[in-house]
Amino acid sequence: MSWTETHTRWTALREVRAEIERHGELPWSAELADIFGTPRELVLALQYFWTLTLAARVDDATELDGAGVARLAAQRFAEQNTGLRRVLGQHSPALDAHEQRIVADFGGYAPVAAARTGS
């Protein structure tokens, strides 16, 4: 991927994130199709952004204030991006577990076991 293509993708992702925060839905258009190909590829790019940014926020908080703030940093990031978090949650059932692994890895916590239903 060329620098121009990378720049175009990241610019589009910023615009998509803003649109999601305004309207609460994953946008799709001919322009986005030209850049990402399919809605699934757009969701994967948004997941990459989410993972990269969440890991950086948790790591920075842990570096500055110790492991105790890792969960708080993750919670604040989610609160600042409620629309995106909701859309990603709809398209990525494993997102909660993935976030817990990031907090555990960067914050020194054991992941919280997923709640079991039934017997």
Separation CA 21–CA 81 (nearest Å): 7
Give the model's pLDDT for residue 111: 52
pTM of the model: 0.83
**Structural domain spans, the chain:** 3-107
pLDDT of 66 higher than 80: no
Choose between 99 and 16: higher pLDDT: 16
pLDDT of 116 higher than 90: no
Residues 6+ apart with CB under 8 A from 114: 96, 97
56, 88 in Cβ contact below 8 A? no
Residues 6+ apart with CB under 8 A from 35: 8, 9, 12
Mean pLDDT for the chain overall? 87
Q: Dump pLDDT digits (tens) for 26-60.
A: 999 999 999 999 999 999 999 999 999 999 999 88
pLDDT of 109 higher than 80: no
